[in-house]
Amino acid sequence: MEKNPWTQRKCSAFESKLIKNFKNNIQKNPTSYQKNMSEIMNMCGIDFDYSMIQVYKKVSSIFQKHRRYMIRKLQDFVIIVEEDGLTRYQKCVSEGMNEKQIFEKFMKCCVDWNVIPVYSDKDDDWRYYLLTLPEWIVMIDQRINRMGKEFKNKIDMLRDARDAFPKTTVRELKVLGHKPSELKDYLLGDGNSHNF
């Protein structure tokens, strides 16, 4: 097995137990490892109560953190040359793998490194699955849309305040004018009539 690049990573006892149990479950049951939040809590020896919002947030934040770890290791997977002069990505391509197969290979590497990049499926009792390439792209797209909507809501608030505080708000709107071109029409327009 390849050397784990995350051995120096510090994490809490709860996270260590969660990831160890989730990893073991994936490796023992590669086709039926998926668990919902209640099952995850039981797996970690915690009696789950749906009123335990803090526990839910804790697990969710751990999984979010592991998706960020995944991005870092994806960069290594694609650009870091190994002893044979090839990157892991180049080896997969040379073996004739398609993008879906390469992503699945990368996910297996992540699990070996104690990185668990998962998403929850609302159509399956919110059970957590290892990311697939299509789900990852959907996740990124949804995040971009949320960020765009939040940004435009803030612009609308500035526009609403412009009449009462013209000097300050006009200055702020000018500062926002350097934003990406896809938002410039919105900034110059009337705001509320645009969709993102």
pTM of the model: 0.66
Domains in the chain: boundaries: 13-131, 140-188
SS3 86: coil
pLDDT at 192: 47
pLDDT of residue 190: 47
Farthest-apart Cα atoms in the chain, separation: 66
Q: Please name every residue paired with 128 in a beta bridge, in sequence order, or none if there are none.
A: 35, 120
Given a cut of 60, whether residue 184 has pLDDT beyond it is no
pLDDT above 70 covers a percentage of the chain that reads: 79
| Beta strands, E only, the chain | 118-121, 127-130
> Contact at 8 Å (CB) between 151 and 159?
no
pLDDT tens profile 87-134: 999 999 999 999 999 999 999 989 988 899 999 888 888 889 999 999
